[in-house]
Amino acid sequence: MDERIERMKQVAESGDVNAFYQLIGEDVKLLEHIDQLPFVQTPLHITAFTGNIQFAMEMMFYGDLVRVKGREHITPLHYVVENSDNLDLLDKFLLVCPISIADVAVRNETALHIALKYDNLEAFKFLVRWLGRNCSKNASSSEKPIFNWEDDKW
């Protein structure tokens, strides 16, 4: 399994969709248990960093992959907010897995905290608008407390 995971990481770095499907053809259950493996960075984290939207969308036929936690419980959504101005990828992540907005990293940081921590004002504004639209559509939404979430203030 380790060799296939390493190959998956290389495919994620290259963004080669055909190689991705070749790996899936070799092991159709490769992505089913990916969140149980001890990664520092998952293939979706790598794809989020490189900003390859097409490859990310191909991987996300399992929407919960957006919630897989890597080192320090950073999710691919957090990774995009931290490392990229790619609002299209951020939008796609929230489209396939809206509950991922509630995920927190090790220091109890939400995506909003992370956007501000890394001076990603565009991502922060995008998230605030997205939360505003979500909260106004559903008053009992679990996203509402995110605006007031306190981090660990390390």
* CATH number of the domain enclosing 37: 1.25.40.20
Q: How far apart are CA 38 and CA 121, in angstroms?
A: 32
Is residue 153 in a domain?
A: no
Identify the three-state secondary structure at position 30: coil
Q: How far apart are CA 20 and CA 1, in angstroms?
A: 15
pTM of the full predicted structure?
A: 0.65
| Number of domains the chain contains | 1
> 67 lies in which domain range?
2-148
Q: How far apart are CA 69 and CA 45, in angstroms?
A: 9
**Predicted confidence (pLDDT) per residue in 100-146, tens digit:** 999 999 899 999 999 999 999 999 999 999 998 886 555 444 445 77
Is residue 154 in a domain?
A: no
Contact of 81 with 118, CB cutoff 8 Å: yes
